[in-house]
Amino acid sequence: MMPPMTPPHRPLLAPEERAALRGARVSMLGELCATVVHDVLQPISASVMRGHAALRWLRLARPDVPEAIAAIERMIVDADRAMEVVTRFRALASDKPAAPETVVLNALARECLAWLDHEFERHRIAVEVVLPRDDLRLLGERVPLQQVLINVLMNAVQAIARVTETIREVPPDIPHQRHHGRFHESGERWIRLTLTRVGREAEIAIQDSGPGFGDAVMARMFDAFFTTRADGMGMGLAICRTIAHAHGGDIRAERPREGGARIVVRLPLLGM
């Protein structure tokens, strides 16, 4: 008797959805280029300096081999750091439909935040991360899920960067960066990422201290080709919604009482 055939893997995203995702990802990768260049050049520059130091140790009248070896070992660490950035970027740029896999959302959130470290530093944005002790797992495609979080985080950075000399209330449970109970854009900017379990779902909330959403934006922000930026494609949040729906979840926008903006992504957990 022939064993039953295993059904072929069915991608979470339809071909036309994947084509739209590809276009939005190209735009996102373009915006990430400055961060990638910074994250690659930094360890390369350090490696060059350590290489020169190793040569100086070896060219002494009495070569200091242990110091030269230590410098070369640090060069290898720097080169590994640069290679890791390039490897992560290639994975993010990959266009191959992947079989659903177990994705640990705690780790995914940290990876996405790491992509934007340079942008947070450049715009002087304080980042607060609230993760559960237990890992939250789901079955899904890692790269599209990364695309959702990076896109929302980039939107938050850009919103904060656009604000000029605006004062608003600070959320009462953020203990740092207070100024008489008020939030001043020019010196106190923040983004908070919170991951929690809500019943059988994971909830990822990304809140920022930007200008928030007006009524017109709230009504259309997840529509394809809607954008408030002159150079925007208007596909970012529309694609995020497509990805969330493909994973059996949803995405919504909120206007917190204290001001700013909050995007909430809900995704079903594995085995729930």
At 190 the pLDDT is 93
Exposure string of 65-74, with b = 16+ CB inside 10 Å and e = fewer, is eeebeebbeb
pLDDT confidence of residue 23:
62
Q: Give 175-198 pLDDT, tens digit per residue.
A: 333 332 334 444 568 999 999 999
For the chain, which residues make up each domain, given as ranges? 15-93, 101-268
* Best CATH choice for the domain 101-268 from the list 2.30.130.10, 3.30.565.10, 3.30.2130.30, 3.40.630.30: 3.30.565.10
| pLDDT of 213 | 76
Q: Point out the least confidently predicted range of 2-6, 7-11, 26-30, 207-211.
A: 2-6
228-254 pLDDT, tens digit each: 554 444 456 888 888 899 899 999 998
What is the reported pLDDT for 22? 63
* Res. 31: pLDDT tops 60: yes
Q: Which SS3 state, helix, strand or coil, does residue 21 take?
A: helix
Higher-pLDDT residue of 106 and 117 is: 106
174 compared with 16, residue with greater pLDDT: 16
Rg (CA), the chain: 22
Which carries the bigger pLDDT value, residue 26 or residue 121? 121
Confidence of residue 227 (pLDDT cuts 50, 70, 90): low
Long-range contacts, stretch 76-79, CB < 8 angstroms, 24+ apart: 78/43, 78/44, 78/46, 78/47, 78/50, 79/43, 79/44, 79/47
Identify the three-state secondary structure at position 102. Answer: strand
Give the C-alpha separation, 78 to 65, whole Å. Answer: 20
